[in-house]
């Protein structure tokens, strides 16, 4: 059973809404962009027009650079709007269609789910990621005093069982380990909810604050997304045992499989800590401010 570090209730980050609601428009020439153009500022890189418009071959072609005015406005938009604004700015300045959504929010689950996912009768979801079955349970609430003012997103890798028959010191048949199921759930303790503020990590980075993504639910959802990303890019361990092996070799394969599963568990944990707890105001900085010394982020590779 795997459990991530507990998330603690932080201070409110209500100021972020001003940045979102007050952001400038880049349709045409906004006053801010006009002022920037008059000052003669230019892009620090080359911006490509995508996609190619066959109706206007003289104005755009594959690999062409943007006209100076559009390139400057695009650069200004991304500088003012900050990290993660590329698609928005290309839509506003160049009129490009927004990219299709990749994830959707399912009521009662903090982690965004792949677009098109539907909740089951119990309110959870069932996915297939990287060769394993993934089950997201609905968010839970805990009355455990140890969970007060904390939240956690945890995963558990289902148990496995390998049995074999042998004759003359060699394996003649075996069953298992079977399909792998990983269950993920976010749990909120007393005193916090998904709408509480994130005290460290995701939810505290400059881009998160600018985008108004400062809630504890957002932070916990990043852990769930980390888990899915890890599963999609890291093949789950495979059992190497086979009929015909000596009993000794087969039992060594069983042991190696168990060790690999535990390593996979630990690596998935560290991946999410690094991506979600060790950015912005890190968990170590948060803990230090609350009288606790930790070296979680310093230990990240």
Peptide bond before 15: cis, by omega within 30 degrees of 0? no
pLDDT in tens, 67-96: 888 888 888 887 877 656 777 788 778 777
Reading the block at residue 285, the tokens are: 């900085």
Q: Return the ∠ at Cα 279 (arms to 276 and 283), rounded to 5°.
A: 80
**What is the SS3 assignment for 16?**
helix
pLDDT in tens, 115-161: 889 999 999 999 999 999 999 999 999 999 999 999 999 999 999 99
Torsion 107-113-118-122 (CA) sign: negative
DSSP assignments along 112-143, one per residue: -EETT----TTS-EEEEETTEEEEEPPPEEE-
- Give the pTM: 0.68
pLDDT in tens, 253-292: 999 999 999 999 999 999 999 999 999 999 999 999 999 9
Tokens 């890189």 belong to which residue?
45
Q: How many CB atoms lie within 10 A of CB 280?
A: 22
CA gyration radius, the chain = 25
Nearest-angstrom CA–CA distance, 19 and 103:
24
């Amino acid at each position: 059973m795997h459990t991530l570090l507990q998330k603690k209730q932080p201070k409110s980050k209500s100021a972020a809404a001003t940045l979102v609601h007050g952001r400038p428009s880049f349709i045409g020439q906004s006053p801010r962009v006009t002022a920037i153009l008059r000052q003669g500022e230019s892009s620090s890189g080359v911006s490509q027009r995508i996609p190619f418009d066959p109706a206007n071959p003289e104005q755009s072609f594959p690999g062409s650079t943007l006209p100076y005015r559009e390139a400057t406005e695009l650069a200004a938009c991304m500088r003012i709007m900050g990290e993660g604004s590329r698609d928005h700015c290309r839509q506003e300045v160049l009129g490009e269609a927004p990219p299709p959504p990749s994830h959707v929010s399912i009521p009662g689950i903090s982690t965004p789910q792949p677009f098109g996912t539907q909740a089951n009768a119990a309110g959870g979801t069932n996915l297939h990621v990287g060769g394993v079955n993934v089950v997201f349970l609905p968010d839970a609430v805990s009355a455990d005093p140890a969970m007060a003012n904390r939240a956690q997103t945890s995963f558990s890798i289902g148990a496995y069982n390998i049995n074999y028959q042998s004759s003359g010191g060699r394996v003649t048949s075996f069953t298992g380990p079977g399909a792998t199921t990983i269950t993920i759930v976010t749990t909120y303790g007393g005193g916090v909810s998904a709408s509480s503020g994130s005290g460290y990590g995701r939810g505290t980075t400059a881009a998160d604050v600018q985008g108004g993504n400062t809630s504890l639910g957002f932070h916990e959802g990043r852990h769930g997304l980390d888990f899915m990303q890890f599963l999609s890019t890291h093949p789950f361990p495979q059992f190497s045992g086979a009929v015909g092996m000596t009993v000794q070799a087969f039992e060594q394969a069983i042991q190696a499989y168990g060790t690999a599963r535990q390593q996979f568990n630990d690596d998935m944990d560290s991946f999410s800590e690094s991506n979600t707890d060790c950015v912005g105001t890190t968990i170590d900085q948060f803990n230090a401010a609350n009288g606790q010394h930790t070296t979680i982020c310093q230990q990240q590779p």
